[in-house]
Structure 1
Amino acid sequence: MKHPQISKFRRQPAHARLNPVALASTLALLTGAGAVQAQQAAAATPNQSLETVVVTGIRKSLDSAVTLKRESRGLVDGIVAEDIGKFPDTNLAESMQRIAGVSIDRNNSGEGSKVTVRGVGPEFNMVLLNGRQMPTSSGGARAFDFANLASDAVSALEVYKTARASSPTGGIGATINVKTARPLDVRERIASIGVKVNSDASVSRLPDEIKGDKLTPEISGLYSDAFADRTIGIAINGSYSKRNSGSNNAFTGNGWQTQPITNGTAGTAYDGVPASNLKNFPTSGFVTHTNDVRYRVTNLERERLNGQAVLQFAPSKALKFTLDHTLAINSVKSRAIENSAWFGPSYSGPLNGAPPTTFVRTGDVSDPIIQTATWDGTHDYAMYAAQFATKTKLNSTGFNAAWKVSEALNIELDAHSSKSKTSPDSPYGSNSVIDLALFNQGNTTMYYDQKFPVMSSPGLAYDSNKTTVTGSQFQNDLSDQKVDQVQLHGTYRLGTDDKLLAGLGFTKLNNRTASVNNFHGDWGGIGPQGSFKNVNVSQYSLPSFFSRIPGSGDSRQFQTFFVPDFDALRAQAIKNAQSFRPTSLGAGAPLTKAEAEAYFSPLPDYTSGSDWRTTEKSTSLYGQWDHSFDTEMPMNLSVGLRYERTKIESSSQVTSYSGTNWYAENEVSLTGGTSTFGTKTGSYKYFLPSIDWDMDVTSNLKVRASYGVNIGRPNFGDMLGGISLNPNSGRYNIHGSGSTGDPALKPLKSKNLDLSAEYYYAKSSYVAAGAFYKKVTDFFSKKVVQATFAGLNQPASGQYYDAARAAGIAADKPKLLRNYIFQNYNGRPGVKVTDASDPTFLKGDILGSVAGAQPLVFDITTPSNGDGDTIKGLELNFQHMFGSTGFGVSGNYTFVRSGLKFNNNSSSTSTQSGLVGISDSANLVGFYENDVWSVRLAYNWRDEFLAARVNGDANDPVYTEPFGQVDASIGYKFGKNLTLQVDLLNLNDGYIRQHGRSKSEVLSNVQTGRRYLIGARYRF
């Protein structure tokens, strides 16, 4: 005998019951025009009336999401708008983090920007807009940045966690479909307008010189209607928002360098460092050091404009045409002030009362938890002022034709051309930095025994007579991506319980990433010390900017934060360059006014920088059979196969160099650059099967099993031809760096198995558990290969350098080493003094052509396909409504484990295959709703995860420590049309900390602040 209540879930024909997206779209008052949902929408039967469905309120939104989950084939989760034009979060990424298995990466303003699904990073999640692949202008990466899209026009998010033959490839973690409204799918006219005021508390934690407005506006509007007996539909929506925020970071700019113990035993010297300077020095394993400490405060101003226009024409019930255009403009400008001290690989002390460098061991790696550098009171302490400005513009035009040829056959054609471009948005370029140095720093000690990196520098104080500009960079970055895509889908009903789906797709993607950096390392100064004394430098309490981070109030911490003005520094630097020739240019006359202005400006084009261009052409073909078994326990089966073929052509412009110059205390630059261009190709093809099965064990209990194969394409930055050398990466005793790519890289391949059970024990209430297993092969890893290049030698080597060392000058005293060489070998080939005004600090050039110079070693980072491993995990989620009280609660927890781990007990040059993004995550949401009030409180937590495998130019880990955030929203309705809303974000005022191989290797501490939005929405 059949279960008595099964029939209420089978009241539609089986082929209609098997259309999850069509059913969810009905409940959401819209039908998507994209490839993912189109073929299901066409199969809807006439009794699926939209007239009885109204999506309003938190509970109705959750009901729709439950229906999507329950009626889908495969594992699908989603979020549906409470009402058209009202999404439950202020940011799409922050909405998705409420879904089991989904966690987010936050940008510098604290907003969610990119998503990780089941431990698979953002670059391996395919993001669709109404079923269409969207371009991402984020350099060489594929990850979609949700910060570019406002949530106002979005009506639903669908997250497909299992492979589907009909879905575009690339979503190993998930395929995420962002859906917007369609006017002919809505049975009423909709017109609404919303306004909000955003108040960001993080702005109050910035110096007055860079503070922005604390209160900023947001406005949105939506209009949708149908005319001419519902044969013509028009929908227009738009939104504008502006936000100012503050971001304060205490960090290490160049990471922690890890190298094996090459000499020395306990109590003896290491690389020329006296034994008395070292405490607990290891006798085996690896030892680390950091090069610098930096304290940065940043104001970020984001201005976002989104809009969409949709025109639909349905000349008959069997034919419907849709034309739409989406526009998204996101302008981001920021001003930053940074104070920093450079140590290099210094294990100095305990001279002049400074403590010895003290090591703490974690595994095979020993870190200097106390690291001391002894200076003579003339070392440079850097204060930089910076401006950053970029604009991202997305334009997407699409056309869709849906034709119901007969009762059995439906055909749909979808095409779009979409382009995203991120370009500089300032006369000073996308990144502009000017360094003001204070030359009176003495002994400095770093303490890494707190969450906060504590710097002690007794005697350091501002003296305008000891200042000069020492470095500058004006950089232009361009990222441009275009996607042209055509998709043809067909659905044919073989009978009541059988359906065939088939499709053909063509995608052409063009990606360009270009960069040119007008960088000058004038570490000797643009003019003598004191020539910038008329430039005002404000002083603040440094700990006051980091009050949320434990350890910021440490009594050992240097207390002052210096704030120079960017425009004043640049103006004075231009004047100085007309009187004193910049040291990075070597000997010669001062610059003219025009030359000086160009010296402190971005270069006019990209011909002297890097220019990477990749064309990716893909052809796909798929077929799928859906069948329903009307058995004692009703079952559904879908079997599909997708064929994917991709061809890649990658061209890159890189710069080759002919010489080197040790031109400043720590710096070695590459000289004689000329541009070269080269092209490489690659291709691959795959057959990707998928199987989805589900069964109704009882009327309330459903079990599922899915198997599918998917691929994740390499990032564009990993497919570049040619070797790109970093012209400013060399140091007097450290390797240079560079990178190269390979367009013949294979995609990452994942075989996925999912098992789940869902128990719907009451209306709108359920518990579910799912296990997933991914076998990943051809994983992308980074290896560092050491290489040398003809003509590029290490100037800090050879006969003159050896003579300086033989004279008793330590290897970590580059200033004294240079002085010795200048005093004894000036005028010899490769040695030239350019400024002898201070005999204790001679300035000049030491070229790689000096006698006996050894080749400069470069660490070249190279991508490769490595071994595979597994990702496995468990998802637990629940939702409970407390009857008709209006109270409800939902939550989830995701466990993820993988053998793709970073090996912390290794050097910076070892090959690594750690999977970025693997972490446990949890959400808990409680709410109350009645006819007037709606209140929601949400907590999101993410455990520690590997955020990056490469830090700088070495192969080092970047771990993000556990982080949780509390958000709340309160809504109040005045009648049917007016709603007041208050959103309270980051109520716990959390901060985000990152570390290296151990927690003492602090890499970053980002502190933002709470954010409040107060607004109203009126529906006409």
Structure 2
Amino acid sequence: MRSTSSRFWQYGCVAAALALEYAGESRAQPAAAAPVAASDPIDSAELPRVVVTGVRSSLATAQDTKRQRMEIVDAVVADDIARLPDLSVVDALQRVTGVQITRDRGEGGTVSIRGLSQVVTLLNGREVFTAGPGRALDFADIPSEMLSAIHVFKTSTAGQLEGGIGGTIDLRTRRPFDFAGRTLVTSARMVHGDLVGTAKPQVSVLASQRWNLESAGEFGALLSLAHQRRAFREDQKSSGTPVPRTNLVAGQTIVAPSGTSETRSIGERRRSAADLVLQWRPTPALEWHAEASYAQLHTRQDSHQINVGASGTAEPGSLELFPGTNDVSRVTWTNAPMSVLSFARDTVDRTRQFAVGGDWQGDALRVTGDVSHTRSFNDLFFSGPLFGGTAAAFTHDLTTRVPGTSVSGTNLNDPANFSFASHAFRKRPFDGALTAWRLDLEHEATAGVLKSVSAGVRVARRRASNRTGLIFGDATITGLSAADRPTLVMPNPYGFMPGEGSQSLSEFMVGNLDLARDPGALREAIGLATPLPDAGGPLGTWNFDERTQATYLTARLKAPTLPLEGEMGLRVVRTQESSSGFQSMPGAGGVAPIDVDSRYTDWLPSMSLRYAGQGGLVLRAAASKTITRQNFDQMSPSLSLLRNPVNPELNQGLAGNPELKPVRATNLDFAVERYFSPTTAVHGTLFWKKVDGFVANESSDEVHDGETYRVTRPRNSLPADIKGFELGYQQFYDALPEPLRGLGLQANYTHVDSRTSLAPGGASMPLQNLSRHSVNLIGMYDMGRISARVAYNWRSKFLSGLTNIVGLGQVPSYTAAYAWVDASLRYRYNEQVTLTLEGTNLLRTMRRSYYGADTRPQSVWLNDRQIIGALTVRFW
């Protein structure tokens, strides 16, 4: 993948140079900003005018978007994104009220709105996604430099695309008519990670130009390029699942961790993105646009993992318990099994979107529409050797923040103490494609309470496939010592969790990964004759062809004597799904293809009210019904049956469920907002969601080929109630004397209470990955040439998973509360040059999880603290 990224950047730079050379030969347009182009059915006022240079204009634009929309929405615009060290869209989203994110290799990972990850993602109003078993975009794919704004819609209207019970996130990129004339901006950053000890460069270029074509109107072209490289390191230490033991203390059952797993992952992330936009306005009433977008995220990772397990015997006198519990706090196991897995793990996300559309504005009628095509590819590559051995004594101390581990009596640096166990190899591709066209009409009324009527239609076809399925190519190795292949092993080159006082396993042999990305050569070097498979089993593959037809009608009303507006609408969506896979045939042997078709219709009403009173007071209410279609892997028709020839009562089966219905939700929102100035406001929102049909795996008897099997399938069975409130505040303290008048504060708090039946017997549990409390505090300073931000993000503990453990049942695991701090300092040398010093994860936060109680630790993670130096130059 290295050559693809290099060619992309080389070609992109050439294209930018040619575009700038041509732009330089043209006369610059007048300095006044041109009207913002209206290219989709939302109000054009939401698009930020980049030419505004006031240091607070970005906050004013975002606040005005929130105030003017009928929906309950939060916005972040380009300059605010640039004022903090946000590498991707996820990093920028983490500070939005009601949004929570997970972390992945020191960056933002998944996104949820009010506890729900079922979110529709749009790129300039058009659906976009990352290929995979799910439907959403991996927000980490998009560099933050590509955006002009992010809009987070928490309530729905009939004109919005269906599919997100959590909400809708619309990523807005820049267009040439956003600028007054010729524009060229370049930025370069150097990002240094303290754990990985390496710095990597990041660059971006934006070139835009407008031409007056006289009788043919006005034409604009914009090219935006970004390429990021970031080295990372993540240390993870896991204590293994708790296991009940009856053979350690006579007459007593105690709970001990199953061992330790300590992983050091070192790698590099490369983001590449390009956006080409053409706009043509032949007349003041008509505008055409064409857009081409490309994004790729390539993660290249090397990991070394040592695993030491709890054995059947413990050293006499070494066993200690946490006071008042039966949980082991310290123990030394004898003759403990151990293994070392060294592996290369690379992933690639690649998404392209092409679109052509237009906008015509008459006296009372507005017509907009576009046609778009999106393609996405995702791939995982995993390869490396596994060694096995035995530790004479393994001590596990769980009393410290990072559990202490040590091995004695066995030299872990001696290759003779390890034997090759296997070569691990996995490969997994996903493909996705979407073609859609839409047409929207809005007619303005001239009298009475009816302000406007809108109607529209959207037709889309989406395809998804996991192609070959998971290619599982693990091959067992016997009778070969690591000392027999000295070139394939080496001493571990890394320490572990620096700064922590507890002991960890650092001195041990690991695999040499020079050949890991050439698995055929690695197998040959080990002496394996087993060939690499080129496809997974057919029972693990699926293909989907999904067609949707949606129509909507809305009426916007305005009270004649009150500052009250409302919008009522209905969206009707017809969905047709065709899925194909394979099923096993125990009677005849082998497998056979299976195809399933389904269709259903959803009626999605919505209503929004907005009261704009005196003194900047705004009251809102919204009600709607929303849906989210299930993930593709859950709807796979493939059926795997395992017949038990000895006892037919133990026949087992595993399958997807093509009859799964969408998750449906009923939503209510009430909001109070008060706007004191363009950059000062407070707001509060109450929300409630009734969700029906979350998916859970259930087992039931099914008859196939005349025999009964206990088949496990996903089913719509779990309702959930989600309720809570949001509070937000933003202000610059202009009444203070200089230089303190540049101080400001953004603050928000979200409280979410969720309940669903995830445990056996219908016990009530919160939704996974949802914190009950989350807080954002952003200290701001803007005065003269200086701009500074300090961002504090905190979330309370959350349920991260459920594990079935023999003897203990279903045990919840929680991630403990943690905080994340980023900061930046910008100095505007002059109108063209800005210097920036930034830092992420300044606290070097250690995340921690546990099985139900602190006395049963699960994992700890430590990521880089990153220091970033940046230079931005605006030529025009």
How far has the Cα of 1:999 moved from its partner? 3.4
Preserved contact between residue 141 and residue 271 of structure 2 (Cα < 8 Å): yes
Preserved contact between residue 576 and residue 600 of structure 2 (Cα < 8 Å): yes
How far has the Cα of 1:677 moved from its partner? 3.5
Aligned ranges for residues 318-333 of structure 1 at < 5 Å? Answer: 318-333=285-300
AA at the equivalent of 1:341: V
**CA-to-partner distance for each residue in 1:513-558, whole Å, 9 max, x for gaps?**
24333443637x34257434565431568xx51235xxx5336x55
Instruction: Answer yes or no: is 1:90 the counterpart of 2:87.
Output: yes
- Aligned twin of 1:538: 491
How far has the Cα of 1:449 moved from its partner? 3.8
- Aligned twin of 1:38: 41
Aligned ranges for residues 66-77 of structure 1 at < 5 Å? Answer: 66-77=63-74
Segment of structure 1 superposing worse, 60-69 or 953-962? 953-962
Instruction: Answer yes or no: is 1:634 the counterpart of 2:563.
Output: yes
AA at the equivalent of 1:690: S
SS of alignment partner, residue 424 of structure 2: strand
How far has the Cα of 1:445 moved from its partner? 4.9
Counterpart selection for 1:490 from 430, 441, 450: 441
Instruction: Answer yes or no: is 1:417 the counterpart of 2:373.
Output: yes
How far has the Cα of 1:680 moved from its partner? 2.7
- Aligned twin of 1:79: 76
Instruction: Answer yes or no: is 1:553 the counterpart of 2:501.
Output: yes
- Aligned twin of 1:401: 358
Preserved contact between residue 616 and residue 675 of structure 2 (Cα < 8 Å): yes
- Aligned twin of 1:261: none
In structure 1, what is the Cα distance between the partners aligned to 2:112 and 2:576? 27
AA at the equivalent of 1:510: R
TM-score (norm 2): 0.86
SS of alignment partner, residue 413 of structure 1: strand
Specify every segment of 5 or more residues in structure 1 that has no aligned partner in the other structure, as ranges: 1-25, 205-213, 259-269, 282-287, 425-429, 579-590, 659-671, 728-734, 793-854
Counterpart selection for 1:201 from 175, 187, 194: 194
Counterpart selection for 1:172 from 143, 153, 165: 165
Preserved contact between residue 94 and residue 100 of structure 2 (Cα < 8 Å): yes
How far has the Cα of 1:1002 moved from its partner? 3.1
Cα–Cα, structure 1 residues 219 and 460, in superposed 2: closer, same or farther, change >3 Å?
same
How far has the Cα of 1:993 moved from its partner? 1.8
AA at the equivalent of 1:649: S
Instruction: Answer yes or no: is 1:719 the counterpart of 2:635.
Output: yes
In structure 1, what is the Cα distance between the partners aligned to 2:114 and 2:570? 24
Preserved contact between residue 48 and residue 149 of structure 2 (Cα < 8 Å): no
Q: Percent identity?
A: 25
Counterpart selection for 1:934 from 772, 781, 787: 787
How far has the Cα of 1:444 moved from its partner? 3.5
Instruction: Answer yes or no: is 1:246 the counterpart of 2:193.
Output: no
In structure 1, what is the Cα distance between the partners aligned to 2:642 and 2:866? 39
In structure 2, what is the Cα distance between the partners aligned to 1:360 and 1:120? 38
How far has the Cα of 1:719 moved from its partner? 0.8
How far has the Cα of 1:610 moved from its partner? 2.7
How far has the Cα of 1:431 moved from its partner? 0.6
How far has the Cα of 1:770 moved from its partner? 1.0
- Aligned twin of 1:663: none
- Aligned twin of 1:308: 275
Cα–Cα, structure 1 residues 172 and 955, in superposed 2: closer, same or farther, change >3 Å?
farther
AA at the equivalent of 2:732: M
Cα–Cα, structure 1 residues 545 and 88, in superposed 2: closer, same or farther, change >3 Å?
closer
Preserved contact between residue 542 and residue 638 of structure 2 (Cα < 8 Å): no
* Aligned-residue RMSD, C-alpha: 3.7
In structure 2, what is the Cα distance between the partners aligned to 1:912 and 1:718? 23
How far has the Cα of 1:165 moved from its partner? 0.7
- Aligned twin of 1:623: 553
Cα–Cα, structure 1 residues 502 and 571, in superposed 2: closer, same or farther, change >3 Å?
closer
Preserved contact between residue 778 and residue 867 of structure 1 (Cα < 8 Å): yes
SS of alignment partner, residue 542 of structure 2: strand
AA at the equivalent of 1:1005: V
How far has the Cα of 1:572 moved from its partner? 10
SS of alignment partner, residue 74 of structure 1: coil
- Aligned twin of 2:744: 888
Aligned ranges for residues 507-522 of structure 1 at < 5 Å? Answer: 507-513=460-466, 514-520=468-474, 522=476
Preserved contact between residue 869 and residue 900 of structure 1 (Cα < 8 Å): yes
AA at the equivalent of 1:490: L
- Aligned twin of 1:215: 199
Structure label with greater radius of gyration: 1
How far has the Cα of 1:609 moved from its partner? 7.3
Preserved contact between residue 411 and residue 489 of structure 1 (Cα < 8 Å): yes
Cα–Cα, structure 1 residues 520 and 475, in superposed 2: closer, same or farther, change >3 Å?
closer
Preserved contact between residue 482 and residue 489 of structure 2 (Cα < 8 Å): no
Counterpart selection for 1:504 from 457, 461, 476: 457
Instruction: Answer yes or no: is 1:754 the counterpart of 2:669.
Output: yes
Cα–Cα, structure 1 residues 948 and 57, in superposed 2: closer, same or farther, change >3 Å?
farther
Give the aligned length: 820
Preserved contact between residue 608 and residue 674 of structure 1 (Cα < 8 Å): no
- Aligned twin of 2:725: 874
How far has the Cα of 1:241 moved from its partner? 1.2
AA at the equivalent of 1:742: N
Cα–Cα, structure 1 residues 618 and 930, in superposed 2: closer, same or farther, change >3 Å?
same
TM-score (norm 1): 0.74
Counterpart selection for 2:770 from 910, 915, 918: 918
**CA-to-partner distance for each residue in 1:422-453, whole Å, 9 max, x for gaps?**
135xxxxx01121022x332344544444434
Counterpart selection for 1:984 from 839, 842, 858: 839
How far has the Cα of 1:170 moved from its partner? 1.6
In structure 2, what is the Cα distance between the partners aligned to 1:28 and 1:960? 50
Specify every segment of 5 or more residues in structure 2 that has no aligned partner in the other structure, as ranges: 1-31, 644-649, 736-740
In structure 2, what is the Cα distance between the partners aligned to 1:625 and 1:69? 21
In structure 2, what is the Cα distance between the partners aligned to 1:771 and 1:882? 28
In structure 1, what is the Cα distance between the partners aligned to 2:729 and 2:210? 39
Instruction: Answer yes or no: is 1:383 the counterpart of 2:340.
Output: yes
Aligned ranges for residues 463-612 of structure 1 at < 5 Å? Answer: 463-495=414-446, 498-513=451-466, 514-520=468-474, 522=476, 525-527=478-480, 530-532=483-485, 535-539=488-492, 544-547=495-498, 553-554=501-502, 560-567=507-514, 574=523, 578=527, 595=529, 598=531, 602-606=532-536, 610-612=540-542
SS of alignment partner, residue 65 of structure 1: helix
In structure 2, what is the Cα distance between the partners aligned to 1:864 and 1:141? 16
In structure 2, what is the Cα distance between the partners aligned to 1:961 and 1:759? 35
Q: Which has the higher strand share?
A: 2
In structure 2, what is the Cα distance between the partners aligned to 1:193 and 1:298? 32
In structure 1, what is the Cα distance between the partners aligned to 2:144 and 2:521? 45
Preserved contact between residue 784 and residue 955 of structure 1 (Cα < 8 Å): no
Cα–Cα, structure 1 residues 237 and 112, in superposed 2: closer, same or farther, change >3 Å?
same
In structure 2, what is the Cα distance between the partners aligned to 1:644 and 1:367? 54
Cα–Cα, structure 1 residues 354 and 516, in superposed 2: closer, same or farther, change >3 Å?
farther
Aligned ranges for residues 33-432 of structure 1 at < 5 Å? Answer: 33=39, 37-41=40-44, 54-82=51-79, 89-107=86-104, 109-121=105-117, 124-137=118-131, 139-204=132-197, 214-227=198-211, 228-229=213-214, 231-252=218-239, 255=241, 273-274=246-247, 276=249, 279=252, 281=254, 290-343=257-310, 348-350=312-314, 352-353=315-316, 355-356=318-319, 369=329, 373-375=333-335, 380-404=337-361, 406-423=362-379, 430-432=381-383
How far has the Cα of 1:159 moved from its partner? 0.8
Counterpart selection for 1:963 from 818, 821, 827: 818
